[in-house]
Every structure is written in structure tokens, then in C-alpha cells.
Amino acid sequence: MRANADMPKIVDHEKQREKLAKATWRVIRQGGIGQASFRNIAEEAGASVGSIRHYFPTQSELLAFSMKLISDRINQRIRNIKWSDSPFEGMKQLLREILPMDEEQRIETEVWFAFTAKALVDPTLQPFSNEIYDELRSVFTFIIEHLIKLDLAVPDLDVEMEVERMYALIDGLAVHAILRPDRLKPDMIESVVNHHLKSLCR
């Protein structure tokens, strides 16, 4: 018996899944979600279709994981925000983390957009899309409630309505920023975000 024959082959499964997810992002970015077939993703990742199926039995599962990885990254960045200095600055930073302000965030937004458009017509993706929608919505609930708790907000803010308004505003800015980077620049996005936050404060 050879020494290593019984030792398990060490494969970092989480790393493998991430590698496939990132290949999925690149394929979506280049050709749209219609191109995100196992074959194209396998080619992009330098993997075999069989090895993808090992991790993701269906295309929906791969797409959902790829999308979940994006919302995890956003949540991670949000958790890293330092709130100690100024809560107002913290909130501005939080909103910037969600918006496509740099190349990496642009990719996230483009993949989110393509994924969301597909989820509209693919019922198997809808639960994942809904989960991400609700998760992101809770960020805006947090912002509005935090403004009130810190006594920064104007009196009698309608919480539900302001949550919907801010969520729609931020998603609209995100969509416009990827559709027309020539028209809606990061500077303007920042102005809109600052102005909107200020308009909610005393």
C-alpha cells in the first residue's frame, strides 16, 4: 500500500465553486446571461462540464450561487464600514458600496441586472432573486430607521414609504450607471446620494 493512497485529495470545494461563479460573471458580462451555458462557463473556467455539474447539478443553481456571491460581497463590504466617526458618513459609504462606483462594482451590477432580467421569466430563479431583493431592501430599512434612532431624521418620516423611495432611487441609479456611464458619472451619483440623504435629515 502506497503512503498517500488513502489520503483524501484536498480540494477546496468553496474555492472551486467561487472559481466557477467568477467564470460565470465573465461569461455574462461578455455575452449576456443567454451565453451562460455550462459549456461556455466550463471553457471560460478551464474546467469540464462534468466538474461543473458535480458542484451545480442545474444551470439555475450555478446562476443563483453566482448571484448570491455578489450579494455576499456587498454585505461583507457593508459590515466593514466604520460607523464610529460620523453616522452620516457611514451611510453615504454604505450607499456607495451598493452602487457601481468602480470597475468591480460595475461588474456586480451588470451581473445582477442580467440575472434579474432572467429571473423575471425563469421561475426556478425567482426564489433567489426575491431573497436578494429582500436582503437589499433590509439595508434601506436599516438606513431609514438608523437616521430616526440617531435623531438625525426630519420629524414624522414615513418609514415604509422612505424605504421604498430610497431603494428605488439607488437601484435606478445603479441601472443608469451601467446603461449610460457616459451620462451618469460617479460624481453625479455621489451628489444625488448626498442630496437625498440630506433631504431626509433635519
178 contacts a second copy (rule: CB under 8 A): yes
125 contacts a second copy (rule: CB under 8 A): no
Map the footprint of a second copy across residues 93-122, applying CB under 8 A. 110, 113-114, 116-122
Give the integer Cα–Cα distance in Å for 1 and 90.
Answer: 60
**Among residues 2, 9, 195, 202, which is the contact residue for a second copy, using CB under 8 A?**
195
**Among residues 135, 164, 186, 201, which is the contact residue for a second copy, using CB under 8 A?**
164
**Among residues 49, 150, 159, 168, which is the contact residue for a second copy, using CB under 8 A?**
168
Least Cβ distance, residue 15 to a second copy (angstroms): 28
Closer by beta carbon to a second copy, 78 or else 192: 192
148 contacts a second copy (rule: CB under 8 A): no
Is there a contact between 97 and 81 (Cβ–Cβ < 8 Å)? yes
Give the integer Cα–Cα distance in Å for 114 and 32.
Answer: 7
What is the grid cell recorded at 97? 458600496
143 contacts a second copy (rule: CB under 8 A): no
Q: What Cα–Cα distance (Å) separates residue 28 from each residue in 16, 24, 40, 111, 192?
A: 18, 6, 10, 6, 29
What is the grid cell recorded at 45? 473556467
Map the footprint of a second copy across residues 10-39, applying CB under 8 A. 29-35
Closer by beta carbon to a second copy, 51 or else 191: 191
Is there a contact between 23 and 44 (Cβ–Cβ < 8 Å)? yes
Give the integer Cα–Cα distance in Å for 162 and 22.
Answer: 34
DSSP state of 34: G
Least Cβ distance, residue 130 to a second copy (angstroms): 7
Task: Give the residue from 179, 101, 95 showing the smallest Cα distance to 142.
Answer: 95
Phi, psi of 3 (to 5 degrees): -50, -45
Count of residues that bind a second copy according to CB under 8 A: 46
Burial of 100 (0-12, 13-18, 19+ CB in 10 A): buried
160 contacts a second copy (rule: CB under 8 A): yes
Interface positions with a second copy (CB under 8 A): 29-35, 110, 113-114, 116-122, 129-130, 133, 137, 158, 160-161, 164-165, 167-173, 175-176, 178-180, 183-184, 188, 191-192, 195-196, 199
